[in-house]
Structure 1
Amino acid sequence: MSGLFSSTVTPTQRRQAFRDGLNSGKIQRLPGAFSPLVARAVQDAGFEGVYISGAVVAADLALPDIGLTTLDEVVGRSRQIARATDLPVLVDADTGFGEPMSAARTVAALEDAGIAGCHLEDQVNPKRCGHLDGKEVVPTELMLRRIGAAVKERRDDSFVICARTDAAGVEGIDSAIERAKAYADAGADLIFTEALHTPADFEKFRAAVDVPLLANMTEFGKTELLSASQLEGLGYNAVIYPVTTLRIAMGQVEDALADIAETGTQTEWVGRMQHRSRLYELLRYSEYNAFDQQIFTYQNPSERG
């Protein structure tokens, strides 16, 4: 990463890297980032990509994950995060923020934001968190129109269009498999199998569907938490940890605030904080200082003796 204000890896290069990773035989690990700084930390830790969760964008705005966020809010946060990392960024685009034409507009906006790919889901509007009860899915034909519109609007063929199916928890895993096959035939590059329960479910899905598959390892949901190596062994191509960093951060924030409210000091937490020096490393503070010094030492040739 050499550019101070934006990545020097082009969006197309990052999209192709994501595609290559999905076909590499090595599982692509994408932790969720709730801010550009977290995305920078994800890259520094050696992961293959960054994920932006719709639930996390909503939660960061103090909203529930029930389809209240707007396209502009999601695209804005996505652009900020993509700017801060060289890694491919995959974005949760919910149902496309409307019906098929809106899904097409969503893809165009995310392409313009430098994103590597997005996923569209087959829930009805407004959607619900994939691991809650009470979800509803649209007819397969409507989801095929969403995917078709997204594929048609895509200008960069390397942009990854992922189709998420929530049908396993509504209609059963066999229906979800049939939907996934249809979604792949409609042009989806990647299938997101939401809210499967056990390794056997993942194995059954992999045996039936012949396109790259993405697993969701979210905490407190319906899915047994499996390691990346376990999922790779089951033949999965990518895994997301959508809310993990936000949950860790907010857990620490709430505990610290409660302690400070009681004791009046943060002294006991200093050892658990990210040190200022480490923050400055992630922010590339020294590189900005060097850049700034070069500007201030510049002299106009006409002013030289």
Structure 2
Amino acid sequence: MTTATEKRQRLRERLAAPGMLTAPGIFDMISARMADRMGFDVLYMTGYGTVASYLGLPDAGLATYTDMLNRASAFALGTQTPIIADGDTGYGGLLNVAHTVKGYEAGGLAGIQLEDQEFPKKCGHTPGRRVIPASDMVKKIRVAAEARNSDDFLIVARTDARTSLGLDEALSRMHAYSEAGADILFVESPESVQEMEQIAGAFDKPVLINIVEGGKTPVLSREQLQAMGFRLAIYPGTAFLAMGKALEDAYSALLQDGSSAAVADRLYDFESFSRLMGFQAVWDFDKAHADD
């Protein structure tokens, strides 16, 4: 079993090496286990997907710190790949931010994402987002950096200022958050290739790009993103959008035909899925203790 310390060190080293990292979004233990076996360098716990799968609610500040820590720590415990987890706004004031960072670090995560939206926050590719003063977010980042036990626990600073205040303000905020101690910089929702190029080349720290299919930001190839200078690309919605379509197709077949025969060729092998979920250990245990 890989320790949390080893995961964090591995991610730090990978970020320092050439090439761009691609992080798939995980939102429940099935997606976490599936992504973990694929060979990614890092996984991303999506707030949107986690809140939707766990509570059946929109990503609009309705999930609590306890809700999110519960899921994040389960993902970290059940996987070998480093995970960066969405920490929303830190769930309150400066004391809450410190508590959140300590909780996520103790929970085994490799990093936390904190954003400068007003509470209650909203998904970064939906309307109606407002940001707090930059000076207030600088304090949050400083507190987050002070609260962590290890510098290998990464702090991702996100600004949502592009949508409401413009790109220049977003870039200015990122420089301030970088100076305050952020390790990875994240300007949410650039709306053109030109804006993406400007963001990627503006900083001397790793820059993250968030790709949401159907969102505001153009979906480009890995080669294009890497050439711009991005060090990390997260795909928070790809998996749950794929799952939604697959579920719709499967349920429609059951409703229309009363059978799964029409989608049988699109189903994961049952025995392989059972092994993915850890049944091999159960079978081995039963075999070892058969005489008992």
Report the TM-score, using the length of structure 2 for normalisation.
0.95
Helix, strand or coil at the partner of 1:240: strand
Report how far residue 264 of structure 1 moved. 1.4
**May I ask how many residue pairs the two structures share in their alignment?**
291
Change (3 A) 1:240 1:99: same
Is 1:255 the counterpart of 2:249? The answer is yes
**Secondary structure of 2:49 counterpart:** helix
- Return the letter of the residue paired with 1:273: L
2:104 maps to which of 104, 110, 125: 110
Residue matched to 2:2: 9
Matched, 1:166 2:165: no
> In angstroms, what is the RMSD of aligned CA positions?
1.5
Q: Does 1:208 align with 2:202?
A: yes
Which amino acid counterpart does residue 37 of structure 2 have in structure 1? D
Query: For 2:259 and 2:104, how far apart are their aligned partners in 1?
Result: 43
Q: Match for 1:235 among 229, 236, 241?
A: 229
Corresponding residue of 1:34: 27
Provide the residue aligned with 2:11 in structure 1: 18
Q: Would the aligned equivalents of 2:65 and 2:91 in 1 still touch at CA under 8 Å?
A: yes
CA distance in 2, matches of 1:88, 1:9: 10
**Partners of 2:107 and 2:141 in 1: CA distance:** 20
Paired AA for residue 115 in structure 2: E
Aligned to 1:45: 38
Of stretches 271-280 and 213-222 in structure 1, the one that deviates more from structure 2 is: 271-280
Indicate how the Cα distance of structure 1 residues 297 and 229 shifts in structure 2: closer, same or farther if over 3 A, else same.
farther
Partner residue in 2 for 1:277: 271
Q: How big is the shift at 1:248? A: 0.7
Q: Is the 8 A contact 1:32 1:243 kept in 2?
A: yes
Q: Is the 8 A contact 1:101 1:146 kept in 2?
A: no
Cα distance in 2 between the residues matched to 1:222 and 1:111: 31
Post-superposition Cα deviations, 1:161-183, rounded to whole Å, max 9, x if no partner, equal: 11001111111111111110100
Task: Note the C-alpha offset of 1:284.
Answer: 4.2
Q: How does 1:135-150 map to 2 (within 5 A)?
A: 135-150=129-144
The answer to whether the Cα contact below 8 Å between 1:177 and 1:209 also exists between their aligned partners in 2 is no
1:206 to partner: Cα distance: 2.3
Aligned to 1:97: 91
Greater Rg over alpha carbons, structure: 1
Q: Which residue of structure 1 aligns with residue 260 of structure 2?
A: 266
**Residues 1:151 and 2:167 are matched in the alignment:** no
Q: Tell me the equivalent position of 1:3.
A: none
Q: Residue 128 of structure 1: which of 122, 125, 143 is its match?
A: 122
Query: Separation in 1 of the partners of 2:76 and 2:160?
Result: 27
How far does residue 296 in structure 1 lie from its aligned partner after superposition?
A: 4.6
The answer to whether the aligner puts 1:78 opposite 2:72 as a matched pair is yes
Larger deviation, residues 229-238 vs 254-263:
254-263
TM-score by length of 1: 0.91
Deviations 1:227-272 (CA, angstroms, capped at 9, x unpaired): 2222111111111110111111111112221221122111111111
Q: Unaligned stretches of 5+ in structure 1?
A: 1-7, 299-305
Instruction: Tell me the CA shift for residue 281 of structure 1.
Output: 3.4
Q: Which amino acid aligns with 2:83?
A: V
